[in-house]
């Protein structure tokens, strides 16, 4: 395992469950023998605000932060946030974006307009974009709250870590009574 | 040895556990909160949320004096509150080891200012260590206890957001068997009358001279030499990680783990090996000033690097490497910002709308409710530090002309009132103020992630605990007009605030409704806009609820986000907002 670290940037809106997503990713990579580092800012202050988590794995990871132009993958829980963090993406890096829009208050009160052509803008930057209606899939899994785990499923499919370890990581990161639901959400995302 | 992946904060807790800590007292504060939350998961440790940081540090010092190993964790501004005990605990020293974990917040992710706690450790003359990843958080905290006892001093663990809130791999060790020391009365050490304090003052000088040797020879400060390196770098904590990411083997490093006292000889020797040495540190030029004070001149620090905010590997590469040209997609211009907002159903929202309508002068405070200062509510005139709403409101009230005096209200959360609002209220009553204090009692410390507090009837473990009766407390202070209202009974709350603000004596209004995010708070069915009744006046938009939006001309309420709080329904003059009819 001698390779430069893999960097995944997770962005979204506070309350969407990016922290659980980070936990699962860390666990999966850690169990496959990588050095891992992840960083985010906690606190209720972030609720409803723009949130971002940096995740890096490799043989020896120094910085917990992803520099501009260094993310192999951006996993965006919300389209506007994908666009906001696009400068973090590597040239021709992969973007996975949940299509469910969440209007910021700056838009609700009419100070700003929500950009209309987000997916096109991302597409002009990189040809590797995957648009997922994770809310719809989560509803099919049985609960709108598992949007995060659906997206982890989509991400997992693109990475070298074995599916078995992903499933173990999901199971280890959620309360027992929600395990079945989350595994289902993961599978639906994974098998898209 | 068991490997685990832990947050820096969880790793500090692990280190404390391994060192045999049995007592922890803290007040929450981002980014330090998870230290105490993680400690509370170890059955062998008694943990508590104290009313504020000063109380917490004093309680921990008491446990130490009695012979136990103890910890108190706080954010940088928390150390301002606890500075008083810190500076004299530095004199008394300890019996059982005492560690203060202090987390700074460069770039002000979640604070009211940016300050560098290293200055406090230097000024109070205690030993301080700064870890560079989660494993060092564990190891340094564990070792800090023997240092504390050996050098007879509190030891600080200095953290920053990117250490506290980063996860990395930790090699857990077995906990030590620590035998609690005997309590022995020792006035010369713990009664800081001038005669004793002078003796201890001399002791401190000796202690720090001895600790200086440890800084120069101990395991905490390390040279990492690369044979082809042309430059030297002196750095500490997470900055070491950024530096080695950016410069790799192009530089040699003096990695500082003990930041108080700083290593003298080691720094001098290291700087002699390289023509140019960069000192890479965020916030104040703490290491640089020291290096200059001992006569080192071939160093570059704040002349090159920013004096504020957070650094990164990219920034270091850009400043030091001549040919660093990173690729990146250009940021999109004019994207709608997304600052944090009061949640749907937040019990603070109706109050701020009422304050706005009454055009009051609102001295504010720190908590979720500070978001009431943002658009569209814009109902707060000041936010400085915890408790300042009450005392600043008093100052404003005292000097404004009579017709404006009755327009001043102070807004403060339950946890913040207990932390440091009570003394301000005493000031108002004792010195004849007439301002109104509004306590937003949502039964939790919301901002920092729902910690319990002395007013909410539960301890840190969620077990029942005596609750401070806020009404009775205010009356005991001497406030005669104390009234509790429900923010979702909007009209009543509105009238009460108008009447109390106008009263020519001190008054307290307790606005009471539990935070909607607490597990046991009941939520009502979501509301819906009856489009045939809606007159499109958009009044409901003015309360800034994220679940209400206008789409294609229609006002809509998000049925997943809405908690049925009725803040919008209470305002609608056309009865267009209703509970969704069952199908
Ligand atoms: C001295 C100090 N300690 C801790 C903090 C971190 N902090 C900010 S607000 C807050 C508590 C807020 O709780 P509360 O007053 O109950 O209001 P809520 O957030 O629940 O609305 C804390 C602990 C701080 N800013 N300053």
Domain ends where: B284, B302, B320? B320
Instruction: Give the ipTM.
Output: 0.94
Interface test with A, best of B329, B369, B448, B555 (most A CBs within 10 A): B329
**In this structure, are B313 and B370 located in the same domain?**
no
Ligand 1: distance of its center to the CA of B29 in Å? Answer: 7
- Torsions phi, psi for B167 (to 5 deg): -105, 135
How many domains is chain A partitioned into structurally? 1
Angle at B112 between CA B111 and CA B113, to 5 degrees: 95
**CATH number of the domain encompassing residue B535:** 3.30.70.20
Q: What is the pLDDT of residues B30-89, one digit of tens each?
A: 999 999 999 999 999 999 999 999 999 999 999 999 999 999 999 999 999 999 999 999
Strands B222-224 and B251-256: antiparallel
Radius of gyration of chain B (CA): 27
Alpha carbons within 13 A on the beta-carbon side of A66: 32
Alpha-carbon gap, residue A182 to A167, rounded angstroms: 9
Closest by Cα among B255, B165, B262, B167 to B211: B262
Percent of chain B topping pLDDT 90: 93
Are the C-beta atoms of residues B362 and B411 closer than 8 Å to each other?
yes
Percent of chain B topping pLDDT 70: 100
Residue A101 lies in domain: 6-190
Interface of A with B in 81-110 (CB under 8 A): 81, 83-84, 86-91, 103-109
Q: Do B332 and A68 touch (CB under 8 A)?
A: no
**In this structure, are B270 and B143 located in the same domain?**
no
Are the C-beta atoms of residues B458 and A55 closer than 8 Å to each other?
no
Question: Cβ contacts (< 8 Å) between B162 and chain A: which residues?
Answer: 39, 64-65
Question: Does the pLDDT value for residue A64 go beyond 60?
Answer: yes
Residue B506 lies in a domain: yes
Residue A1 lies in a domain: no
Mean pLDDT of B541-552: 90
Closest by Cα among B12, B151, B5, B135 to B71: B12
Domain ends where: B199, B217, B235? B217
Question: Does the pLDDT value for residue B242 go beyond 60?
Answer: yes
Ligand 1: distance of its center to the CA of A68 in Å? Answer: 33
pLDDT-based confidence at residue A3 (cuts at 50, 70, 90): low
Q: What is the pLDDT of residues B141-170, one digit of tens each?
A: 999 999 999 999 999 999 999 999 999 999
Q: Do A63 and B241 touch (CB under 8 A)?
A: yes
How many domains is chain B partitioned into structurally? 4
Question: Does the pLDDT value for residue A1 go beyond 50?
Answer: no
Residue B329 lies in a domain: no
Mean pLDDT of B114-133: 98
Alpha-carbon gap, residue B451 to A107, rounded angstroms: 32
Mean pLDDT of B249-278: 98
One-character DSSP codes across B20-54: T--EEEE---TTTHHHHHHHTTSTTSEEEE-SSHH
Residue in A37, A65, A80 nearest the CB of B168: A37
**In this structure, are B174 and B241 located in the same domain?**
no
pLDDT-based confidence at residue B278 (cuts at 50, 70, 90): very high
Ligand 1: distance of its center to the CA of B363 in Å? Answer: 16
Q: Do B368 and A44 touch (CB under 8 A)?
A: yes
**CATH number of the domain encompassing residue A39:** 3.40.920.10
CA distance B577 to chain A (A): 18
Specify whether the backbone of A105 is left (phi greater than 0), alpha (psi in -120 to 50) or beta.
alpha
Specify whether the backbone of A43 is left (phi greater than 0), alpha (psi in -120 to 50) or beta.
left
Q: What is the pLDDT of residues B20-32, one digit of tens each?
A: 999 999 999 999 9
pLDDT of residue B268: 98
CA distance A104 to chain B (A): 5
pLDDT-based confidence at residue A2 (cuts at 50, 70, 90): very low
Asked if the C-beta of A3 comes within 8 angstroms of chain B's C-beta atoms, the answer is no
Are the C-beta atoms of residues B127 and B147 closer than 8 Å to each other?
yes
pLDDT of residue B583: 63
Mean pLDDT of A139-158: 96
Q: Do A86 and B133 touch (CB under 8 A)?
A: no
Angle at B495 between CA B489 and CA B500, to 5 degrees: 120
Domain ends where: B184, B217, B250? B217
Residue B327 lies in a domain: no
pLDDT-based confidence at residue B551 (cuts at 50, 70, 90): confident
pLDDT-based confidence at residue B267 (cuts at 50, 70, 90): very high
Q: What is the pLDDT of residues B79-100, one digit of tens each?
A: 999 999 999 999 999 999 999 9
Instruction: Collapse the DSSP code of B313 into the 3-class scheme (helix H, G, I; strand E, B; otherwise coil) and give the result.
Output: helix
Residue A55 lies in a domain: yes
Residue A158 lies in a domain: yes
Ligand 1: distance of its center to the CA of A42 in Å? Answer: 14
Ligand 1: distance of its center to the CA of B81 in Å? Answer: 13
Mean pLDDT of A128-152: 96
Are the C-beta atoms of residues A100 and A78 closer than 8 Å to each other?
yes
Residue B392 lies in a domain: yes
Residue B9 lies in domain: 2-217
Interface of A with B in 113-172 (CB under 8 A): 113-115, 121, 125, 144
**In this structure, are B353 and B479 located in the same domain?**
yes
pLDDT-based confidence at residue B211 (cuts at 50, 70, 90): very high
Mean pLDDT of A57-77: 96
**In this structure, are B370 and B450 located in the same domain?**
yes
**In this structure, are B282 and B382 located in the same domain?**
no
**In this structure, are B201 and B274 located in the same domain?**
no
- Torsions phi, psi for A70 (to 5 deg): -120, -5
pLDDT-based confidence at residue A46 (cuts at 50, 70, 90): low
Neighbour tally for B510: CB within 10 Å = 19
**In this structure, are B371 and B431 located in the same domain?**
yes
Interface test with A, best of B31, B78, B167, B341 (most A CBs within 10 A): B167
Residue A125 lies in a domain: yes
**In this structure, are B266 and B383 located in the same domain?**
no
Residue B313 lies in a domain: yes
Residue B272 lies in a domain: yes
Residue B538 lies in a domain: yes
**CATH number of the domain encompassing residue B84:** 3.40.50.970
């Amino acid at each position: 395992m001698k390779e430069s670290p893999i960097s995944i940037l997770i962005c979204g809106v506070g309350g969407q469950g990016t922290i659980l997503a980070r936990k699962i990713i860390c666990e999966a990579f850690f169990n496959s023998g990588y050095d891992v580092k992840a960083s985010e800012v906690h606190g209720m202050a972030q609720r409803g605000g723009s949130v971002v988590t940096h995740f890096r794995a490799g043989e020896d990871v120094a910085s917990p932060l992803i520099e501009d132009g260094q993310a192999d993958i951006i996993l965006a829980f919300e389209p506007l946030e994908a666009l906001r963090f696009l400068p973090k993406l590597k040239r021709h890096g992969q973007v996975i974006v949940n299509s469910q829009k969440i209007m910021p208050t700056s838009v609700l009160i009419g100070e700003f307009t929500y950009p209309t052509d987000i997916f096109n803008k991302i597409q002009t930057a990189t040809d590797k974009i995957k648009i997922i209606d994770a809310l719809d899939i989560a509803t099919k899994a049985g609960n709108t709250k598992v949007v995060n785990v659906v997206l982890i499923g989509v991400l997992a499919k693109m990475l070298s870590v074995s599916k078995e370890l992903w499933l173990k990581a999901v199971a280890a990161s959620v309360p027992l009574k929600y395990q079945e639901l989350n595994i289902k959400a993961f599978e639906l995302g994974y098998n898209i | 040895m068991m490997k685990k992946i832990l947050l820096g904060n969880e790793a500090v807790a692990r280190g404390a556990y391994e060192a045999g800590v049995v007592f922890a007292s803290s007040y929450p504060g981002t980014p330090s909160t998870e230290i105490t939350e993680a400690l509370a998961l170890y059955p062998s440790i008694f943990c508590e949320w104290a009313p504020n940081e000063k109380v917490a540090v004093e309680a921990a010092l008491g446990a130490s004096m009695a012979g136990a190993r103890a910890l108190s964790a706080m954010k940088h501004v928390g150390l301002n509150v606890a500075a008083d005990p810190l500076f004299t605990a530095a004199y008394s020293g300890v019996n059982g080891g005492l560690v203060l974990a202090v987390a700074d917040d460069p770039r002000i992710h979640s604070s009211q200012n940016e300050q560098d706690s290293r200055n406090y450790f230097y000024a109070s003359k205690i030993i301080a260590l700064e870890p560079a990843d989660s494993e060092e958080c564990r190891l340094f905290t564990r070792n800090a206890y023997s240092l504390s006892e050996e050098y007879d001093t509190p030891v600080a663990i200095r953290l920053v957001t990117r250490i506290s809130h980063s996860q990395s791999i930790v090699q857990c060790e077995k906990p030590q068997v620590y035998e609690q020391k005997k309590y022995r009365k020792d006035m010369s050490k713990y009664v800081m009358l001038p005669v004793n304090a002078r003796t201890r003052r001399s002791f401190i000088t000796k202690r720090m001279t001895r600790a200086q040797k440890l800084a120069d020879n101990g395991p905490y400060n390390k040279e990492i030499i690369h044979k082809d390196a042309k430059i030297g770098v002196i750095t500490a904590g997470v900055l070491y990680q950024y530096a080695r990411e950016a410069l790799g083997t192009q530089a040699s490093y003096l990695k500082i783990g003990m930041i108080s006292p700083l290593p003298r000889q080691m720094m001098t020797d290291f700087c002699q090996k390289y023509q140019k040495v960069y000192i890479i540190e965020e916030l104040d030029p703490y290491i640089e000033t020291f290096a200059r004070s001992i006569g080192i001149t071939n160093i570059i620090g704040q002349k090159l690097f920013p004096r504020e905010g957070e650094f990164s590997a990219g920034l270091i590469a850009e400043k030091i490497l001549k040919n660093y040209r990173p690729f990146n997609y250009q940021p999109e211009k004019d994207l709608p910002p997304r600052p944090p907002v009061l949640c749907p159903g937040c019990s603070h929202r109706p109050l701020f709308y009422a304050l706005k309508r009454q055009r009051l002068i609102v001295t504010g405070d720190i908590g979720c409710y500070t978001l009431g200062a943002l658009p569209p509510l814009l109902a707060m005139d000041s936010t400085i530090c915890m408790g300042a709403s009450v005392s600043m409101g008093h100052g404003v009230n005292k000097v404004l002309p009579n017709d404006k005096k009755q327009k001043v209200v102070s807004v403060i959360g339950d946890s913040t009132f207990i932390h440091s609002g009570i003394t301000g209220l005493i000031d108002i009553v004792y010195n004849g103020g007439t301002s109104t204090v509004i306590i937003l009692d949502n039964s939790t410390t919301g901002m920092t992630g729902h910690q319990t507090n002395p007013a909410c009837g539960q301890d840190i473990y969620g077990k029942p605990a005596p609750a401070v009766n806020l009404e009775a407390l205010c009356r005991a202070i001497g406030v005669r007009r104390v009234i509790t209202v429900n923010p979702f009974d909007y009209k009543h709350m509105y009238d009460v605030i108008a009447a109390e603000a106008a009263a020519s004596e001190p008054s307290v209004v307790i606005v009471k409704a539990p935070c909607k995010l607490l597990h046991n708070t009941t939520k009502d069915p979501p509301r819906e806009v009856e489009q045939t009744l809606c007159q499109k006046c958009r009044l409901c938009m003015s309360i800034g609820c994220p679940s209400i939006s206008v789409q294609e001309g229609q006002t809509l309420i998000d049925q997943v986000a809405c908690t049925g709080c009725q803040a919008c329904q209470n305002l609608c003059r056309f009865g267009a907002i209703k509970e969704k009819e069952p199908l």
